[in-house]
């Protein structure tokens, strides 16, 4: 299977999963465009070592869980009660059998069906939203980015989902603005 190099900057697999729909307020770029892209995400996330090939129904189910997790994360961040329908979708997925690691001669190995991999993601969302790190959830400071991340930084000062993406862009723009302003003579 070709590796697709998904981005994992949010600090938790459940958050990285909801980040597969980028720029939710504008362009809405869905990186899960085919079952193979979803399979690749499961592998690249490290949650499983192998996954049986998914079908269109698996992709539709995964997108539904992704949007439900996003809704619950947004509700938690904004101090609202959880949306009941989103809660039902995530809890239903989390109740299903999850991927189970096995010990093999080379080490730990986790094989899964698409449904087991999705259940593993849903369980991670339950653990995150029901645990102490739920208070550390932040949305990226880039107005075009809607990624939510766990801010484990000292003093909770992190502003960007990741430095490789949004953080570098904003720091470079601020640097260029300072340079421009330094070149403008005083009084102008």
Q: Find the domain containing 67 and state its range.
A: 13-183
Residue 55 pLDDT > 80: yes
> Which residues are 111's β-sheet partners?
50, 100
Residue 164 pLDDT > 70: no
Q: How confident is the model at residue 1 (pLDDT cuts 50, 70, 90)?
A: very low
- 7, part of any domain: no
Mean per-residue pLDDT, 3-29: 86
Residue 145 pLDDT > 90: no
**At how many degrees (to 10) do helices 114-129 and 56-77 cross?**
0
Name 32's Cβ contacts closer than 8 Å, sequence gap at least 6: 20, 21, 38, 41, 59, 62, 63, 66
What pLDDT does residue 185 have?
Answer: 66
How many Å apart are CA 39 and CA 133, to the nearest integer? Answer: 27
Q: How confident is the model at residue 177 (pLDDT cuts 50, 70, 90)?
A: low
- 40, part of any domain: yes
Average pLDDT value over all residues in the chain: 88
User: pTM of the entire structure?
Assistant: 0.84
Q: What is the CATH number of the domain that holds 17?
A: 1.10.3300.10
- 170, part of any domain: yes
- 36, part of any domain: yes
Which two tokens mark 31? 């990186």
- 5, part of any domain: no
Nearest CA to 134 out of 57, 80, 64 is that of: 80
Report pLDDT digits (tens) over 87-96.
999 999 999 9
Nearest CA to 98 out of 136, 142, 51 is that of: 51
What pLDDT does residue 179 have?
Answer: 66
Nearest CA to 64 out of 112, 20, 113 is that of: 20
The number of folded domains in the chain is 1
Nearest CA to 32 out of 44, 46, 43, 17 is that of: 17
What's the chain's length in residues?
Answer: 188
- 31, part of any domain: yes
- 176, part of any domain: yes
- 112, part of any domain: yes
Mean per-residue pLDDT, 39-52: 96
Of the ranges 8-17, 80-89, 142-151, which one carries the lowest mean pLDDT score?
142-151
Secondary structure class of 49 (helix, strand, coil): coil
């Amino acid at each position: 299977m070709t590796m697709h190099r998904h981005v994992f900057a949010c600090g938790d697999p459940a958050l990285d999963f909801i980040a597969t729909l980028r720029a939710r307020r504008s362009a809405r770029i869905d990186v899960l465009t085919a079952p193979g892209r979803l399979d690749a995400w499961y592998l690249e996330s490290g949650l499983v070592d192998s996954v049986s090939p998914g079908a269109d129904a698996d992709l539709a189910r995964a997108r539904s869980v992704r949007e439900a997790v996003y809704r619950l994360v947004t509700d938690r961040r904004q101090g609202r009660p959880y949306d009941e329908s989103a809660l039902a979708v995530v809890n239903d997925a989390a109740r299903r059998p999850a991927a189970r690691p096995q010990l093999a001669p080379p080490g730990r190995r986790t094989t899964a069906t698409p449904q087991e991999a999705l259940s593993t993601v849903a369980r991670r969302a339950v653990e995150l939203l029901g645990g102490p790190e739920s208070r550390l959830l932040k949305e990226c400071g880039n107005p075009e980015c809607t990624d939510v991340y766990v801010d484990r930084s000292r003093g909770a000062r992190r502003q960007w989902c990741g430095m490789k993406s949004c953080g570098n862009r904003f720091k470079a723009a601020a640097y260029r603005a300072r340079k421009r302003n330094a070149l403008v003579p005083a009084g102008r």
